[in-house]
Structure 1
């Protein structure tokens, strides 16, 4: 009869682990209540890589949630507040090397996190480097309008972690993520982008806990007002596909899901500088906080 209160306590403590491990601070029902990927980080042009060269990128996000939902999507009776701000520089290197008919590229992302959590009067704030993301992939330019990319992302457990803490900015395990991204770009019409991802999470050696496998996607749909400006909507979809396990035992009724949508705009000066702005609100949320995020993504020419 005491299993459910213990389960809730585990979720509450764990909710925050993922906040700093990614850019967004979105949380789901894996260990620590979160996903290692920053849900909704990408926007217009995600599948269209630039010509060969080195490109600095900058992501910034502000996420807030005042509600934690159960497996039925209903809010739990908790005084819950979550605030997370993230700045994440990323270095992208697009090479001249051809692999499998496409252009080889790699990237490194370093998330810097400011995380503040309050649950029933218990409060904790953490700042620091989260879990870094390493990318290796191949990009294709099928036509002036259609572009795609395949990659493998590896998330390394570089962020600080203590399983006894309320807030952590690292997950303490590795994640392997295959990625497919596609962009349809028309400077005089419709633009459509999607980034599909599948996460395989390895076991946390400190807790003998293995988070379930996750499928999620970022999306954007818009219209080019001019050659410089695109306006539309964007967000993400998320579904945990397999159960978590601890000490080889399945944890039932713990799979997360969410969908987010909101306005999105992109400016591109045609000379290497571009900036995406997006606001997204989460809907249909289960086993995770329900909140909103504001995103900025900028490409900064050297």
Structure 2
């Protein structure tokens, strides 16, 4: 389906150790939109499970597309770097976010592919956390508009076989600009206050005319946040944080679906994130900061026409490190303009 690099819409500082909520849950609100961490919280927003079935091919031809993503995330377990639950009376997080996307694909080609660009803007509608200890500073969470993502891409149209399409794929270079709302006094922010570069490759293979498998593979690089909360790393022995650079990470979405009818497809979808390098504070590596999560669940796609499509995807998380472990639900609508 159309290109998308939907982000998680909240980002976070490593919290101060002055209280359980600030010390353990502060960053979780931001992360909970699409990711969060119980000990690190440094990774910026990325696409976890927002794109699924037939991802390597557009549903229609060149022109303009719009996509809207409504996402709800909840978690009641916060994991540390060893995958153990944090010792808090309550571990409850709820985040609702909206992601708006515009896509343009040219009728002309370059290197055999249609070229185009996608613009994506996330927004946090609601964010709540409760540690059970009466800490209300972050109970409601922060809301607002996140960082703008720009992604030029090349889309190769499906290779056709005797019975229909066989394979289609796309490459895209997603760049996140630090345009979202940010305040270094807040532990939860819609904006990350640093650049990210997150290129990906996406492909779809038709096992049969009715059965496909798809995957999207990214690698994430982040710039420095030069205005972090200066006391946010006191628990790690860092008296004054001048800058923070999140670690690099690999992440992927994967899905398979079967066409029950010409309009309805059902299947399984999932995501996987693995941080590959430690985050850095003041240029020094922060030991034990790597994040990890796996999410898997059911999904469906209903096509009203070739130009209008509705997705529903659900995920249950496991194999979590430095993040909350919860459930994610995504509703996505795609429209292609004539």
TM-score normalised by structure 2 residue count: 0.81
The partner residue of 2:140 within 118, 124, 140 is 124
Q: CA RMSD, aligned part only?
A: 2.2
- Structure 1: state its 5+ residue gaps: none
Q: Comparing 202-211 with 184-193, which one deviates more in the overlay?
A: 184-193
Shift of 1:188: 4.0
Per-residue CA distance 1:141-193 (angstroms, 9 max, x = gap): 23323110001001112221223323211111110011100012467432111
- How do 1:220-239 residues align onto structure 2 when only pairs under 5 Å count? 220-239=255-274
Q: Comparing 175-184 with 112-121, which one deviates more in the overlay?
A: 112-121
- 1:39 is matched with 48
**1:279–1:295 Cα contact (<8 Å) kept:** yes
Shift of 1:107: 0.8
Q: Does 2:109 align with 1:98?
A: yes
- 2:321 is matched with 286
**1:223–1:230 Cα contact (<8 Å) kept:** yes
Q: Measure, in 2, the Cα distance between the counterparts of 1:278 and 1:71.
A: 28
- 1:166 is matched with 187
Q: Does 2:47 align with 1:16?
A: no
Detail structure 1 runs of 4+ shifted over 6 Å in the superposition: none
- Could you say if the C-alpha distance between residues 294 and 40 of structure 1 is closer, same or farther in structure 2, counting changes exceeding 3 Å? same
Q: Does 2:123 align with 1:109?
A: no
Paired residues, number: 295
Q: Comparing 5-14 with 231-240, which one deviates more in the overlay?
A: 5-14
TM-score normalised by structure 1 residue count: 0.91
- 1:150 is matched with 171
Shift of 1:215: 0.3
Per-residue CA distance 1:50-104 (angstroms, 9 max, x = gap): 3110111111100111211011111101233211111112111011231222110
Q: Measure, in 1, the Cα distance between the counterparts of 2:150 and 2:37.
A: 22
The partner residue of 1:136 within 152, 164, 181 is 152
- Could you say if the C-alpha distance between residues 270 and 186 of structure 1 is closer, same or farther in structure 2, counting changes exceeding 3 Å? farther
SS of residue in 2 equivalent to 1:13? helix
Q: Measure, in 1, the Cα distance between the counterparts of 2:283 and 2:43.
A: 20
- Structure 2: state its 5+ residue gaps: 1-15, 229-242
**1:202–1:210 Cα contact (<8 Å) kept:** yes
Q: Measure, in 2, the Cα distance between the counterparts of 1:6 and 1:197.
A: 36
Shift of 1:26: 2.0
